[in-house]
């Protein structure tokens, strides 16, 4: 089985890659740093000798690089069984007061990169009548955060894309799931003094992904919401 993961060298993406490699998935991954990718690929293959892992440095804010990553995947794998759109960026700010570049950057990374990859690999899955798309959204998609206006808008867009694809692809035997984590301890919280016990761990999101992939043929979790025990931070 072959899986594609975007934003895979840090946080949730890294945790997902580790769990999927341990479960026997071959991986095609991307991030913006090729040396980090190379080291991570080697580590995953060293820990899991039966799997193949390839990576390409990709800035998901650049559409041409996203397209190049898709071509890279197709060069290495004859088919993609699982697509996990995880790459994301968070910029705080209110819609009325933030610089418009906040929206532009987050729209490219949080939504358009996933949209492009869903179209490329979703068509292949539709033709094959098999596959799984998992989009890592955010609780902000259903509980708007006014202090992160554009982030909320872009995650709402990704959530909407996931819902539409679910309806488009269900008759073709392709599964689609949205995972909506709350406050998760990733690099976005670097330097925080909040105890880590108040956050969701990236591994929790990875476990949710593995849960989806290990379900029966007739099962499709539409969405999974993961909240911090003590509430959103």
66-98: per-residue pLDDT in tens? 999 999 999 999 999 999 999 999 999 999 998
105-152: per-residue pLDDT in tens? 999 999 999 999 999 999 999 999 999 999 999 999 999 999 999 999
CA distance 187 to 171: 38
Is the separation of the CB atoms in 12 and 136 below 8 Å? yes
pTM (predicted TM-score): 0.94
pLDDT band at 194 (very low <50, low <70, confident <90, very high): confident
- Say whether domain 2-226 belongs to CATH 3.40.190.80: no
Exactly one of 25, 151, 159, 211 is catalytic; name it: 151
> Which token pair is 116?
């492009």
Strand order across the 26-31 sheet: 53-57, 26-31, 2-5, 82-85, 132-136, 175-181, 223-226
Task: Please tell me the predicted confidence (pLDDT) of residue 233.
Answer: 65
Is the model's pLDDT at 190 over the cut of 70? no
Q: Would you call 159 a catalytic residue per the annotation?
A: no
Task: Please tell me the predicted confidence (pLDDT) of residue 195.
Answer: 75
Contacts of 45 (CB under 8 A, 6+ apart): 21, 51, 52, 53
41-54: per-residue pLDDT in tens? 999 999 999 999 99
Is the model's pLDDT at 1 over the cut of 70? yes
Would you list the domain boundaries of the chain? 2-226
């Amino acid at each position: 089985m072959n899986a594609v993961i975007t934003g895979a060298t840090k946080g949730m993406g890294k945790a997902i890659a580790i769990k999927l490699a341990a479960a026997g998935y071959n991986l095609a991954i991307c991030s913006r740093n090729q040396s980090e990718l190379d080291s991570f690929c080697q580590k995953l293959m060293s820990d899991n000798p039966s799997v193949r892992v390839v990576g390409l440095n990709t800035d998901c804010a650049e559409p041409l690089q996203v397209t190049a990553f898709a071509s890279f995947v197709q060069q290495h794998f004859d088919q993609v069984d699982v697509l996990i759109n995880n790459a994301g960026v968070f910029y705080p700010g209110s819609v009325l007061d933030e610089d418009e570049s906040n929206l532009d950057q987050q729209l490219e990374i949080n939504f358009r990169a996933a949209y492009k990859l869903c179209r490329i690999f979703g068509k292949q899955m539709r033709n094959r009548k098999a596959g799984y798309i998992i989009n890592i959204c955010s609780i902000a998609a259903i509980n708007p955060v006014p202090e992160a206006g554009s982030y909320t808008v872009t995650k709402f867009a990704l959530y909407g894309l996931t819902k539409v694809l679910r309806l488009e692809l269900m008759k073709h035997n392709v599964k689609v799931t949205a995972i909506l984590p709350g406050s998760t301890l990733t690099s976005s919280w670097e330097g925080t003094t909040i105890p880590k016990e108040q956050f969701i761990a990236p591994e929790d999101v990875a476990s949710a992904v593995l849960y989806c992939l290990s379900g029966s043929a007739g099962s499709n979790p539409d969405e999974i919401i993961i909240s911090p025990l003590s509430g959103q931070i």
